[in-house]
């Protein structure tokens, strides 16, 4: 089948949705948002208001779709703020645990990494060389970080900065890969135990956090998507409060939010992550939150997720 759709003007986009049953109390306002958000991006937020494809439910207004978009945007900002805290704490634990065991420049010790290997696509994976390249590129940058420049101007050996400088250069995704590339499980345990997790689910959760962070940072739809990379369901009881083990839908937003909340119990126990989520929900009360993956009981009613031991904190 050949694609033959033609681009529509902003006014034609409004007309199209009006033909499909959407009410526009203010068409000029709608055109303004199409100019600044785009019809295609907003169309994903129109789907929950269509029981029948390309036909809006009776009584649906443009503001219902727009509010759902705003809800998702504000929820992403709450999540990004939380993941920033997690990322900073991760760096701290990498640096503290491994520098006390191996010394200031542990990141340069090849023996603590897994040997290079071929993945199922035939690509060579060498976490040691990847890490070295990241640090070297920052050191060779035309405009390096001030602390990197200070080290290079002051010291000649070792040629790269100590871990408490070098690891600050890594993103959460690079930290996730570094963790997976550590050869010694004791090293992994030392880092994961700070967050009250076994190192196996911890590795999976880091990967999932990276994926979720990228969704938020790149303004992708978050609240009602299937997460391609899921955080593993722990096989054993966790040390800190967690959601009930009958909750197994780990490919949706609610499970991801629960993973973030678990980390925050250690990193920011007096924080307001739960309340900030509730504030966004209350601000946009018509949001169909069932699409977030909140589990239901046998009758199909959403469980009282705030009563879960994790979310009571």
Residues 76 and 40 in one domain: no
3-state SS assignment for residue 256: helix
Residues 79 and 38 in one domain: no
Residues 186 and 79 in one domain: yes
Answer yes or no: is 58 within a domain: no
> Total domain count for the chain?
2
Q: Please count the other Cβ atoms lying within 10 Å of the Cβ belonging to residue 300.
A: 7
DSSP letters, 133-179, are HHHHHHHT-SS--HHHHHHHHH--SSSS--HHHHGGG--HHHHHHHH
Separation CA 136–CA 282 (nearest Å)? 47
Are 51 and 20 spatial neighbours (Cβ–Cβ below 8 Å)?
no
Answer yes or no: is 249 within a domain: yes
Answer yes or no: is 2 within a domain: no
Q: What angle do CA 266, 267, 268 make, to 5 degrees?
A: 105
Instruction: Determine whether 120 is exposed, middle or buried from the number of CB atoms within 10 Å of its CB (0-12, 13-18, 19+).
Output: exposed
Residues 40 and 158 in one domain: no
Residues 35 and 121 in one domain: no
Residues 264 and 213 in one domain: yes
64-112 per-position pLDDT tens digit: 999 999 999 999 999 999 999 999 999 999 999 999 999 999 999 999 9
Query: What predicted TM-score, i.e. pTM, was given to this entire model?
Result: 0.93
Separation CA 220–CA 223 (nearest Å)? 10
199-214 per-position pLDDT tens digit: 999 999 999 999 999 9
On the CB side of 228, CA atoms within 13 Å amount to 6
Residues 300 and 154 in one domain: yes
Separation CA 197–CA 205 (nearest Å)? 10
- Percent of the chain, pLDDT > 70? 100
230-282 per-position pLDDT tens digit: 999 998 889 999 998 678 889 999 999 999 999 999 999 999 999 999 999 99
């Amino acid at each position: 089948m050949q694609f033959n759709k033609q681009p529509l003007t902003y006014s034609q986009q409004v007309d199209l949705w009006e033909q499909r049953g959407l009410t526009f109390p203010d068409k000029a306002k709608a055109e303004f948002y199409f100019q600044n958000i785009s019809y295609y991006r907003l169309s994903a937020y129109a789907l929950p208001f269509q029981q029948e494809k390309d036909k809006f439910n009776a009584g649906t207004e443009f503001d219902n779709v727009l509010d759902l978009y705003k809800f998702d945007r504000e929820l992403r900002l709450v999540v990004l703020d939380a993941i920033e805290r997690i990322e900073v704490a991760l760096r701290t634990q990498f640096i503290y645990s491994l520098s006390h065991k191996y010394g200031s420049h542990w990141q340069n010790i090849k023996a603590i990494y897994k040997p290079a290997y071929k993945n199922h696509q035939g690509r060579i994976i060498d976490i040691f060389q990847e890490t070295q390249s990241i640090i070297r590129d920052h050191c060779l940058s035309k405009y390096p970080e001030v602390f990197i420049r200070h080290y290079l101007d002051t010291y000649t050996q070792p040629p790269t900065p100590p871990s408490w400088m070098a690891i600050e250069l890594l993103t959460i995704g690079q930290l996730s890969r570094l963790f997976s590339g550590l050869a010694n499980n004791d090293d992994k345990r030392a880092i994961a135990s700070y967050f009250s997790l076994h190192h196996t689910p911890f590795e999976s959760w880091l990967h999932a956090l990276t994926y979720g962070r990228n969704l938020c940072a790149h303004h992708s739809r978050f609240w009602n998507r299937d997460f391609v990379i899921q955080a593993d369901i722990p096989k054993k009881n966790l040390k800190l409060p967690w959601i009930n083990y009958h909750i197994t839908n780990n490919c949706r937003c609610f499970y991801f939010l629960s993973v973030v909340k678990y980390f925050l119990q250690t990193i920011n126990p007096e924080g307001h992550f739960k309340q900030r989520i509730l504030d966004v929900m209350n601000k946009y009360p018509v949001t169909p939150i069932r699409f977030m993956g909140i589990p239901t009981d046998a009758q199909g009613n959403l469980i009282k997720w705030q009563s879960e031991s994790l979310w009571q904190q």
